[in-house]
Amino acid sequence: MTGLMKSALTVAALALALTGCTKERPVGLATSVQVASLSELPAPASTQAYTVGRQEQLEINVADAERLSGTYLTDAEGYIAFPLVGDLYVEGKTPNQVAKMIADRLRGEYVIDPQVRVRPNAIAAPSISVGGQVGQPGTYPAATSQSLIRAVNNAGGLADYAKVDDVLVMRTVNDQRYIGVYNIEAIQRGNYADPTIYPDDIIIVGDSPGRRNLENILQFIPLLSTSAILIDRAFN
């Protein structure tokens, strides 16, 4: 074996050894994060009702008052400018709450018994976000991504450098943010249940430095024969 080949294999062995050392990864190092005793992520308490956001169109109808009815756009700060009553802060409120707010402002002085109906011009479908080492990172409909494996498959499946035991699911429940860490390969093999995914969940598939190191090493090993054989006892 040539000196170059010995040197290359020595580097490969060192890189693979370092890969094995990274299997014990610390989690929750940020001061704002703590490791919970929960065995699974809590589910959202219930489906959240639609609330008005910024830069959204609202169809507002005031019975028997055509000049007040029409399409209104919330501004960058969450306000609408409504005739007679002025600016109203509507961000974070449901359509019924906005209707009541307008009716209360109109009642008596402008309209005796105002009947107001508010509905959004368009409601975005519930979605999830999938990123990291997947084929097609992006935002996907929650209705077709109701489990972790389904969500990853919809995002093009695991990419070449995906770290199968480092898949994160981030979820906010009652203003508390939770992070679950999963081994998707173990789930695919049926060793663990496929966790349920809910609207607004964020999924991140980790990166495997060991796979990148191996590919980088192989491109520098001269192919003196038809194949190059490496032994890895701790490769993911």
Convert the pLDDT of each residue in 28-76 to its tens digit: 556 555 566 667 788 887 666 788 988 999 999 999 888 999 999 999 9
23-32, 90-99, 136-145, 150-159: least confident range: 23-32
59-63, 219-223, 232-236: which is most confident? 59-63
pLDDT score at 133: 95
Establish if 116 belongs to a structural domain.
Answer: yes
Question: Token digits for 127?
Answer: 């979605």
CA atoms of 108 and 9, how far apart (whole Å): 87
Confidence band (pLDDT; 50, 70, 90) for 79?
very high
* Chain Cα centroid distance, residue 188: 21
CB 151 within 8 Å of CB 119? no
Q: Round to whole Å and give the CA distance between 61 and 59.
A: 7
The CATH number for 110's domain is 3.30.1950.10
Residue type, 137: P
For helices 209-218 and 3-21, angle between their N-to-C axes, nearest 10 degrees: 180
pLDDT on residue 96: 95
Of 46 and 228, which is predicted with more confidence?
46
User: Given this model, what pLDDT does residue 234 score?
Assistant: 47
Per-residue pLDDT, 128: 94
- For residues 186 and 175, the answer to whether their CB atoms sit within 8 Å is no
- Is pLDDT of 179 > 90? no
**Both tokens assigned to 225:** 């024969």
Mean pLDDT of 83-110: 93
Predicted pLDDT at 14: 29
Residue 185 pLDDT > 80: yes
Distance, CA of 199 to CA of 20 (rounded, Å): 36
| CATH number (domain holding residue 144) | 3.10.560.10
What's the total number of domains in the chain?
Answer: 2
Residues 29 and 89 placed together within one structural domain of the fold = no
Q: Which two tokens stand for residue 212?
A: 């990148």
> What pLDDT sits at residue 47?
63
pLDDT exceeds 50 at position 81 = yes
In a domain, 223, yes or no: no
- Predicted confidence at residue 35, as pLDDT, reads 63
Residue 210 lies inside a defined structural domain of this protein: yes
Question: What's the pLDDT at 25?
Answer: 54
pTM (2 d.p.):
0.62
Q: Are residues 141 and 196 in the same domain?
A: yes
Q: Position 22: which residue type?
A: T
pLDDT (0 to 100) of residue 33 = 58
Residues whose CB falls within 8 Å of the CB of residue 122, separated by 6 or more in sequence, listed in order: 57
Let me know: does 203 contact 151? Beta carbons within 8 Å: yes
Same domain, 31 and 69: no
Considering the chain, what is the average pLDDT of its residues?
A: 79
The domain containing residue 84 runs over which residues? 57-120
- What pLDDT, on the 0 to 100 scale, is given for residue 30? 61
Q: What integer is the mean pLDDT of 161-165?
A: 90
Is 108 found in the same domain as 133? no
